[in-house]
Amino acid sequence: MSTANVNGISVNYQIHGSGPVLIFIHGFGGNLLSWWQQIPEFSKYFTCLTYDQRSFGSTSDDIDNPRGKSEFANDLEALLEYLKIDSCSIVAHSMGARAAVGFSLRNAGRVKGLVISSANGGCDNQESRAVRKFHKNNPPDLPKGMMRSLSVDFHETEPQKSFLHRQIMRLNPKHPSDFLKVPAHLIGCSTHEKLDALGIPIIFIVGMKDTLVAPRTIEIAASLVRGAELFTMHNVGHSTYYEDPETFNSIVLDFLNKKVYY
């Protein structure tokens, strides 16, 4: 592994393969190790960059002057400047969409294509806010100790991979329960018009057994962004890329080959 001292922290990253740059950005329960089922495949065709976001994995926490998630997009920009990467496509899962969308909106022309998994990318409207509120107030009845980032079926049929998922998650430092809370000034805002203006290919991927994020909110997000695609994975939960990597990889490769690097 390599480190880059950028934006006041030491970012842990890895690079594999060659070709156009493809960045993988993990979610709240992951780190750069989460992509172990993607990198061997995508590195055949792309220069794959994975990294631990600020205060995740082995990337140093910003203890002296904590800025947390507000710096995710700036951290990515600083890392790409350090690595002298001018353009890229991005695959972002869940929380990772915050860095991906923030960076894309601030760096028009540098991002060629955007894959958003299990997140709305900040695309919101009255309906999706109502769905999210209902989902929060009516949590699913799940087995004790089950990680909501995986579906019940996956826990039952893939105990070894479920255990590995938990072990990867435990490599992360502890975060406060409100770490991902949306700042008050952004409540009611939406990114869909700004994403429209970028004019780049965008695909949303949703797992219909997701108990962490209401799938309907992602369907709405895709409908709000002009020209955006939506791919529905019916038999997986929140961690689409982890539960069914073959389908996920196929979706993303097809998207990149037909819409981005054709």
pTM (2 d.p.): 0.95
Instruction: Write down the mean pLDDT value for the chain.
Output: 93
Dihedral of CA atoms 114, 115, 121, 125 in degrees, nearest 10, equals 100
So where are the chain's domains? 2-260
- Specify which residues 15 forms β-bridges with: 49
The whole-number average pLDDT for the span 224-243 is 97
Give the dihedral sign, CA 13/18/21/26.
negative
pLDDT-derived band at 145 (thresholds 50, 70, 90) equals: confident
For residues 250 and 261, what is the distance between their CA atoms, to the nearest angstrom?
15
Give the dihedral sign, CA 119/11/60/37.
positive
CA 253 → CA 1, 115, 246, distances in Å?
A: 25, 10, 11
Query: Residue 110 pLDDT > 70, yes or no?
Result: yes
66 in Cβ contact with 73 (< 8 Å)? no
Superfamily of domain 2-260: Alpha/Beta hydrolase fold, catalytic domain (3.40.50.1820)
The pairing of strands 229-233 and 47-51 is unpaired
- Per-residue pLDDT at 211: 95
- Per-residue pLDDT at 70: 83
Can you list the pairs that 177-183 forms with residues at least 24 positions away whose Cβ atoms lie under 8 Å? Answer: 179/28, 179/68, 179/69, 180/28, 180/69, 180/95, 183/70
- Per-residue pLDDT at 127: 96
